[in-house]
A and B are shown apart, each in its own frame.
Chain A
Amino acid sequence: MHLTLEFGGGLELLCKSVKFHNVNVDLPKGADKLSMRDLLAWVRTNLIKERPEMFMKGESVRPGVLVLVNDCDWELSGQLDTTLEEKDVVVFISTLHGG
């Protein structure tokens, strides 16, 4: 599944300072849908090059990291259970820095 991922608020530093990533994510074995839960695991393995604890805590994002799917707060679509579709845009923004 082709997706566009964006990292902001300092998170890009964990991905070698690259903000935008066009990725192709395989569905998990035997599944017909890709959930945010699956995507996060994929991102941790494939994109996060350092300090994964800055991005994730357990199976979700670290508290303080906002997630938008197609410009909508993932809290509206079920957070980890949000299902993704082809060409979706997922944005991760960290709020954990000075103001």
Chain B
Amino acid sequence: MEADSKPKKSGARLCCVCNQNRAALKRPKTLEQICRECFYAVFEEEIHQVILENQLFKPGDRIAIGASGGKDSTVLAYVLSELNRRHNYGLDLFLLSVDEGITGYRDDSLETVKRNELQYGLPLKIVSYKDLYGWTMDEIVKMIGLKNNCTFCGVFRRQALDRGAALLKVDKVATGHNADDIAETVLLNILRGDIARLSRCTSIITGEDGPIPRCKPFKCTYEKEIVMYAYFKKLDYFSTECIYSPNAYRGFAREFIKDLERIRPRAILDIIKSGEDFRISTTTKMPEQGTCERCGYISSQKWCKACVLLEGLNRGLPKLGIGRTQGLNSDAKISNGMVIQEESVQGQLFCTNQVNPEDQFFGFYICKK
């Protein structure tokens, strides 16, 4: 063995790919022990293969990368720029950021995205809830309290991203959702009996029948590997939990997934595979897709979720749109085409903390009050 500046510890392993360098991490996906250089290569190559096999992009596409300044979107921006160069995808890449108006969280992370704009040379566009809806998340939480914040934020963010994408005139939006996120979503949908979402949440491309489709290039990428990649490459990202997130239901699914990963890391990809292979029984009633009467967004209800939530905010009815709608049953009253839930039949329901994949954007946006 060669002499190092520091003597090798007993049991120091060599990379199983190159057999030359010291192994730096154990990949959860494959349990391989791999050195930094080989890790960079395999990480980047696997994402390249995912892009090719799923035909995520075509030459000339303008792509907006949903950028929060967090670990996933920063690494996505870095890797996509790199692969675009290396493999000549011919893409025009942009950074698209949403300012929800969460003091102490979003204002700091936006500083990171502004640095990313300079570091990666990608033009940045920021859209804000205040401009689009007339409400910041801080104002919303003041009105509705600390439960169900994520429902509002997730629904509004979806439309905000679409609005920003329309302003940038892009062909597609790419988000940094990773394998852990998608496995959590599969579990969440099972826990909530949300069959409609369950059938869509593992798709790597969504919204193809709308104006601006979305894709998730990190669908098969483990969160641990994203963090290790960012750490070794010293990528600049912002890492604080949203101050409102401790109340989110997703936290339970995340805790469970992390515990599972410890015992059997492959479980994360296997859960996604199960989600992909589910088939809905033909006797199960699925919601039908129509359009929102108020704004034209695709919606399975008379009004889309964002319109219902906004109406609730503007009328001082914070529970409007929260809780499961039962269709036309005796517990729900219909007014102006909306189903008004007075008290949720099943008691307190948790917020969804996930975007609604069925929503599409037709060039309208929610009017300020």
Residues in chain A within 8 A of chain B (CB atoms):
8-10, 13, 62-64, 66, 68, 70-73, 75-78, 83, 85, 91, 93-99
Contacts and interface: CB of A to CB of B under 8 A. Distances in A.
A9 B255 contact: no
A85 B12 CA distance: 14
B4 to A, nearest CB: 11
Given A76-B25, A97-B241, A99-B177, 5 more contacts: A63-B259, A63-B262, A64-B254, A76-B23, A97-B70
Contacts, number: 82
Interface in B302-354: none
Contacts of A73: 23-26, 228
Interface stretch (B85-93, B123-131, B201-209, B219-227): B219-227
B275 interface: no
Interface string B231-246: 1100000011110010
8 contacts: A10-B240, A62-B258, A63-B262, A64-B254, A66-B227, A72-B23, A78-B11, A95-B71
B227 A76 contact: no
Pairs A-B, 6 closest by C-beta atoms: A99-B72, A63-B258, A73-B25, A75-B26, A99-B70, A64-B258
B176 A95 contact: no
Chain B, interface residues (CB within 8 Å), range: 35 or more
B24 A98 contact: no
B261 interface: yes
Nearest to B33: A76
Interface of B: 6, 9, 11-13, 22-26, 33, 68, 70-73, 176-178, 181, 223-224, 226-228, 231-232, 239-242, 245, 254-255, 258-259, 261-262
Looking at A13, A83, A91, A95, the one whose CB has the most chain B CB atoms below 10 A away is: A95
Main secondary structure of the interface of A (DSSP, over half): loop
A22 B217 CA distance: 39
A73 B35 CA distance: 10
B68 A99 contact: yes
Looking at A66, A78, A98, the one whose CB has the most chain B CB atoms below 10 A away is: A98
Contacts of A97: 70-71, 239-242
Contacts of B24: 71-73, 76
B261 A63 contact: yes
A66 to B, nearest CB: 6
Contacts of B177: 99
Contact of A72 (B25, B176, B181): B25
A9 B9 contact: no
A95 B13 CA distance: 25
Contacts of A99: 68, 70-73, 176-178, 181, 223, 226
Given A10-B239, A73-B25, A95 B259 contact: no
Contacts of B71: 9, 95, 97, 99
B223 A95 contact: yes
Contacts of B227: 9, 66, 93, 95
A10 B109 CA distance: 13
Contacts of B240: 10, 13, 97
A57 B199 CA distance: 34
Nearest to B68: A98
A44 to B, nearest CB: 19
Contacts of B242: 97-98
A55 B71 CA distance: 19
Contacts of A62: 258
Nearest to B11: A77
Nearest to B26: A75
Contacts of A77: 9, 11-12
